[in-house]
Amino acid sequence: MGQDGKCESIRQTQRSEKAEEIRRVCREVRKNVVAMIGAAGSGHPGGSLSCVEIVSTLYFGVMRVNPEDPNWPDRDRFILSKGHAAPTLYAVLAEKGFFPKELLPTLRKFGSPLQGHPDAKKTPGVEVSTGSLGQGLSMAVGMALAGKLDRRGYRVWALLGDGECQEGQVWEAAMAASHYKLDNLAAFIDFNGLQIDGRVEEIMNPSPLADKWRAFGWCVLEVDGHDVDALLEAASCASESRGAPTAIIAKTVKGKGVSFMEGQREWHGKAPTGEELSRALEEVGRA
């Protein structure tokens, strides 16, 4: 018992150190996301800021990847199905060392590898090309099937938007994932409650989301999507799932970290300019 207790406390210490490191990454990523979108003059700050903790936690606390060898066959895979959050993915990949951070300010500019939405051909570490909502989970299903077929131990992580769950293809993929018992697959739902035209529940209510995923044969976890410890715990739980994929519904705040963007739908697809940008940078820098 004594020995077990010791191991447990070491694990907890390691985990809290890991969480601290991830929170540091999140601060960097948030700053970069705001700066990139500001420099680009267009983009999607709201949904990029809502998923900073999710993506950072995966890359810095969960996934095995090798920035030196982005196509390493045994790597864990991340699919950003909500492709408009590309700035967050780019900032995390740069932080992880897939490409130099100096590229970040080229976001959305002519000739840049950092396209408005992820382009697997142009950016190291980007697995697939996304941007047309609803398609990422299907590709994740294909990757998870290949992993099973090849008996490789990698895991596939997808990130979907809550509004994105209005797309029918998401549910086709959900059905297939449980049909093929893809326990090497997990999907985060960035539940920030807003989409371009308004509140998700007013535009086309996807709730009750947890019940829907459960009904499609998935294990379901619900977490605070900005709580790194909770996200680590959820990912670890998903990794232990046997016989079924896991959906992690992460409650988030759209525009998280910039007071005047938080919970405001007009910041879905608008870049901050001038005074707004300075304020936003100041707020995320202070955090």
Q: Give yes or no for residue 151 binding another protein (CB under 8 A).
A: no
Q: Give yes or no for residue 50 binding another protein (CB under 8 A).
A: no
Asked if 152 and 73 touch (Cβ cutoff 8 Å), the reply is yes
The torsion angles phi and psi of 168, rounded to 5 degrees, stand at -60, -30
Q: State in angstroms the smallest separation of the CB of 76 from another protein.
A: 12
Task: Tell me which residues in 57-76 interact with another protein (CB under 8 A).
Answer: 73
Q: Give yes or no for residue 147 binding another protein (CB under 8 A).
A: yes
Please name every residue paired with 246 in a beta bridge, in sequence order, or none if there are none. 186, 219
Q: Give yes or no for residue 145 binding another protein (CB under 8 A).
A: yes
Q: Give yes or no for residue 169 binding another protein (CB under 8 A).
A: yes
Q: Give yes or no for residue 135 binding another protein (CB under 8 A).
A: yes
Among positions 25, 104, 144, 209, the unique one binding another protein when judged by CB under 8 A: 144
Peptide bond into 208 cis (omega under 30): yes
The token pair at 266 is 């007009």
Q: How many helices (H) and strands (E) does the chain have?
A: 10, 7
Interaction mask 177-206, another protein, x per CB under 8 A:
--xx--------------------------
Minimal CA–CA distance to 254: which of 213, 195, 202? 195
Helix (H, G, I), strand (E, B) or coil at 58: helix
Q: Which helix (H) or strand (E) holds 221?
A: strand 219-224
Q: Stretches 59-67, 89-97, 140-148, 190-198: which one binds another protein (CB under 8 A)?
A: 140-148
Site of interaction with another protein (CB under 8 A): 73, 119-121, 127-132, 134-147, 149-150, 168-169, 172-173, 175-176, 179-180
